[in-house]
Amino acid sequence: MALSASSLNIGDSYEECLVEDLKRTQLVQYSGASGDYNPLHTDEIFTTQVAGYPSVFAHGMLSMGMTGRMLTNYVGDGRLKSFGVRFTNQVWPGDTLHSTATVEEVTQEDGDPVVKLKVETTNQDGKVVVSGYASARVDP
């Protein structure tokens, strides 16, 4: 189900809950799938005693990956042209994340209608953890 340029308006937005009460096991699962075995994400002893953080924390790319799920649910499969983010705050076990895409522009690129989106993922305290943009091909 693709979006249509003719029915999109600046300021339209789409929101999803990405995760409720993030579990440490999901960090293990992401480590295994992605190949990023940094102990900061799975090894509580190393992270608290050596690295000096209060607990393990999520891979930025896990937050980005879940944010990407919100995007593809909104724009449709195979439609993304670009997706970029800054990781603005760490994500911790127990966090609940919501993510929003907001239409900033509907334009043309290489002859295709394209939507430009502002992307933001926040935690349960309203703190922004992922801030970025995406663009996607849409129907006319």
Partner 1 sequence: MSIDRFPVEASHIMMFARSVADANPIYYDEEYAAGTEPGKIIAPPTFAQSSAQFDPDYFLRPKIGEPWFGSGKEATGIKRDSSGGGGGGGGGGGLHAEQHFEYHRHISPGDVLTATVKPGKTWERESKRAGKLTFSETITEYRDQNGELVITARGVGVRTERPVDQ
- Residue selected from 3, 60, 91, 114 as contacting partner 1 according to rule CB under 8 A: 60
Q: Which residues inside 80-119 make contact with partner 1, applying CB under 8 A?
A: 80-87, 90
Do residues 116 and 135 make contact, with C-beta atoms less than 8 angstroms apart?
yes
Q: Would you count residue 78 as binding partner 1 (CB under 8 A)? A: yes
Quick one: which segment of 5-13, 79-87, 100-108, 111-119 binds partner 1 (CB under 8 A)? 79-87
Q: For residue 28, count CB atoms less than 10 angstroms from its CB and return exposed for 0-12, middle for 13-18, buried for 19 or more.
A: middle
Amino acid at 85: V
Using CA atoms, how far residue 80 sits from 83, 102, 113, in Å, is 7, 15, 12
Residue indicated by tokens 């999803």 = 16
Q: Would you count residue 33 as binding partner 1 (CB under 8 A)? A: yes
What residues line the site for partner 1 (CB under 8 A)?
A: 2, 18-19, 26, 29-30, 32-40, 43, 45-46, 49-54, 59-62, 64-66, 68-69, 71-73, 76-87, 90
